[in-house]
Amino acid sequence: MAMLPLALLLAGAGADVHSLGNPEAVRPTHLALDLTLRFESRTIAGAAELTLEDAARPPAPHLDLDTRDLKVARVSDAATGRALEFALGEPVPHLGRRLRVTLGSPRPRRVRIEYETSPGASALQWLEPRQTTSGRMPFLFTQSQAIHARSWIPCMDSPAVRTTYEAVVRAPAGMTAVMSAAHLGHEPAQGVFRFRMDHPIPAYLIALAAGEIGFKALSLRTGVYAEPAVLEKAAWEFADVEKMVQANERLYGPYRWERWDTIVLPPSFPYGGMENPRLTFATPTLIAGDRSLTSTMAHELAHSWSGNLVTNATWGDFWLNEGFTTYIENRLVEELYGREVAEMEVLLGQRELREFVSDPQTKPGDTRLFIDLAGRDPDDGSNVLPYEKGASFLRVLEARFGRPRLDRFLRQYFDAHAFRSMTTAGFLEILKRDLFGGDAAAWKAAGVEQWVYGEGIPDTLVVPPSARFDKARAAAAAFAATGAVDGVRPDWTTTERLGFLNSLPRALTRAQLDALDRSFRFSQSGNAEILFAWLLHAVRNTYEPAFPSLERFLTGMGRRKFLRPLYRAMHENPQTQALARRIYDRARPTYHPIAVATVDEILGVRGPAGG
């Protein structure tokens, strides 16, 4: 597969609407960090050295970087110590403030920035000992996607700008620090930890966690980090991760990041998982005790090809990360757990997609794969659409060309563009040339432009047949009509149970809800996905017996996937609005700033975000 010119792949990336940097003129190629973690003040004292490469002639007179709520103390030539002039621009909504460094003469090759983060930095969550499992030590973790890296590192916070990085992290005695990088010469007794990432990555994939953390190997190249009380449960839950790596290598080529470890974070982590290279960050809500929710791990692993290896160049191209990854995740589930399970998961995802597209609150423009996010927070584009519509588009290609041909195309695509960033326009040129062979008629017949640039769901959506899923739906219909529950089998998988719950009508009577909870004890489920689906019914129908479980759920974890629909449902039901505010007043200090911003908007809360 021939490579496209860099100008085409990165078309428009120099004008990334979510970055104030100037990568079209000068680019950082390496980042060296020296970070001191200050738990008492909830700040990081940092020094960042950026190695620069001129991208324009004549060389640009200044370097522009992204910052948000950073206190910059000094900027200098890292080689000589000579002070460099700098200025912070006015705050820009969603983006923060531009840091402009005058490079001067002689022109520095490395620029050093000494700075301090804010206690309310949007990427950082500082947890008190009481918010951890053991209660002995505080905990810190980062979440930099989409544009939160700038709140703890002065950087060009655009997915089109990739650098290698190294770091020295200084933590309080007794703590362990981990990063999305290789471990070097640690000095744990002194609280000094060293890391290095030799592959160029965008800033949003730089990640850090520190606290009371243990480790258990799962294979020669995989392992799990977690708080000590959680470690054994996590290791058992994620026992199949090496099989996942091997399965994905068979499909799409070698794993290029040397190790794939996972850290199970405290419950306030706002996502199911975050694909930080070499070290996936995961929510403890994946630990169901039966390995039934590990498809999320398959998703994060798939990002090691789609997202980390070849990355969306802007956040409007987000589907290139998530749509591809959701497709590959499903292929991994099929490899490991069988086609029937994989097809049921496709149907669950397609149901979520239809609900999103038909939701009156969804803007029509937000149902496009390539989305216009100018003037908006890129987190607005983090919803089911890029995941499920993107994966559905690839299934249309699979149906047209066959799996072997599509797999060859994808493998060649990852190989040819490894460690680079990609625009939608660049990908479509590659697709037209290397999969369609330039056949304009086939391109039109496949509806490629409609899938990528059109609104809604094209009628060429491929819906897989599933007898097992049909039985779950039929059981839901039978229950709604007659109250019979004999169609619900005790040996159903999580996917089948979700198919049943999600197929129930929105309006249920108190007697129906009592019957379901009495028969299946949904309010006591230890499976977060099943409990979430049940609690949505409870909120919509004001089923008060489930409210203690609802409160425990919302105050015991901070995963945005669950918070957003539940708080929205409570806010839309006049009978649960007061309950929503009461629970949120209690839970808000424990949520990550990203989750706080989401729920604040739903409930109309005003105040500083941060847990």
Active site residues: 300, 387
SS3 of 297-308: the string is: HHHHHHCCCECC
Long-range contacts from 578-585, C-beta under 8 angstroms, 24+ separation: 579/547, 579/550, 583/550, 583/551, 583/554, 583/555, 584/554
Residue located via tokens 């900027």: 75
At 31 the three-state DSSP class reads strand
SS3 annotation, 274-291:
ECCCCEEEECHHHCCCCC
Q: Report yes or no: 373 and 17 within 8 Å, Cβ to Cβ.
A: yes
- Amino acid in the structure at residue 447: G
* Distance from C-alpha of 283 to C-alpha of 299, rounded to nearest angstrom: 13
Q: Strands (DSSP E) along 78-131, which ranges?
A: 86-88, 97-102, 110-116, 124-127
Query: Rounded CA gap, 350 and 344, in Å?
Result: 10
CA 284 to CA 286: how far, in whole Å? Answer: 5
**Quick check: 262 and 277 in contact, CB under 8 A?**
no
Prior bond of 23 cis (ω within 30°): no
Is the CB of residue 67 less than 8 Å from the CB of residue 116? no
The size of the chain, in residues, is: 611
As a whole number of angstroms, the distance between CA 279 and CA 224 comes to 9
Q: Are 100 and 59 in contact (CB under 8 A)?
A: no
Q: Residue 110 phi/psi, 5° resolution?
A: -130, 130
Determine how many CB atoms are found less than 10 A away from the CB of residue 213: 20
Q: In whole angstroms, give the CA distance from residue 305 to residue 550.
A: 37
Determine how many CB atoms are found less than 10 A away from the CB of residue 63.
Answer: 26
Of 570, 571, 609, 564, which Cα lies nearest the Cα of 590? 609
Q: How far apart are CA 599 and CA 563, in angstroms?
A: 7
Tell me which amino acid residue 75 is. V
Please, which residues have CB within 8 angstroms of residue 535's CB and are 6 or more apart in sequence? 546, 549, 550, 553, 566
The answer to whether 371 touches 436, Cβ cutoff 8 Å, is no
- In angstroms, the CA 602 to CA 580 distance is 10
To which residue do tokens 């040397």 refer? 258
Of 481, 299, 472, 256, the closest CA to residue 390 belongs to 299
Burial of 243 (0-12, 13-18, 19+ CB in 10 A): middle
The 8-class DSSP code of residue 195 comes to E
